Amino acid sequence: MRSKGVAVWLTGLSGSGKTTIAKKAETKLIQRGQPVQRLDGDVVRARLTKDLGFSQADRFTQVERVTYVAELLTYHGIIVLASLISPYRELRAYARHHIPSFVEVYVRCPLEECAKRDVKGLYARAFQGEIPHFTGVSDPYEEPENPELILDTQWETVDESVEKLLRYLERQGYISPTEGEGA
């Protein structure tokens, strides 16, 4: 079965596991012959939105651009794995409004756990006030109110989270169940 295009929008704090889950899900989808494209927040910032900072206005512009790209890709049947902090509900609502097939996935992890995972030391610097507009520390993160899926990475392994995501996509008809599994 050819996949239906869908934007899987992974949102959560820095260090919650969005990129890790998206990379592993990408690998699994490719193995299943599905057309997939990852849009990772760090990569997008380095290539598509390097002119932007982290103010609320700049974050909105970033989401506008990613939404446009995701909309085009999903139109052509691509499964888009967009892993962006996208901290404001308004930003995610914008993406949902403009992308016909949209799945909001909340990658939930407490701030304290994300800070423990931070190998770059960004949280430590943010707690000391060295990094302005750091989501969860000096800028808010608005948790999704009604995401289609919640992946709780404090308690789930990466493999468990990826399986939950793939099963959700199967149940919604975006991908076929693997033989002997699913449905």
User: Is 19 marked within a binding site?
Assistant: yes
**Residue 5, beta-bridge partner list:** none
Give SS3 for 130: coil
User: Is 18 marked within a binding site?
Assistant: yes
Q: How far is CA 177 from the centre of its chain?
A: 22
User: What is d(CA 121, CA 125) in angstroms, rounded to the nearest whole number?
Assistant: 6
Q: Is 86 assigned a catalytic role? A: yes
Pick the catalytic residue from 83, 86, 138, 176.
86
Contacts of 163 (CB under 8 A, 6+ apart): none
User: Is 14 marked within a binding site?
Assistant: yes
Could you tell me the CA-to-CA distances from 38 to 10, 70, 88, 99, 132 in Å, in that order?
Answer: 11, 10, 21, 16, 27
Q: How many CB atoms lie within 10 A of CB 59?
A: 23
User: Is 121 marked within a binding site?
Assistant: no
User: Is 129 marked within a binding site?
Assistant: no
Give SS3 for 69: helix
User: Is 116 marked within a binding site?
Assistant: no
Structure tokens that stand for 39 in this block: 């849009």
Which residue type does 57 have?
A
Name the nearest CA neighbour of 94 among 60, 123, 128, 137: 60
Binding site for ATP, by residue number, is 12-19
Catalytic residue ranges: 86
Binding site, by residue number, is 12-19
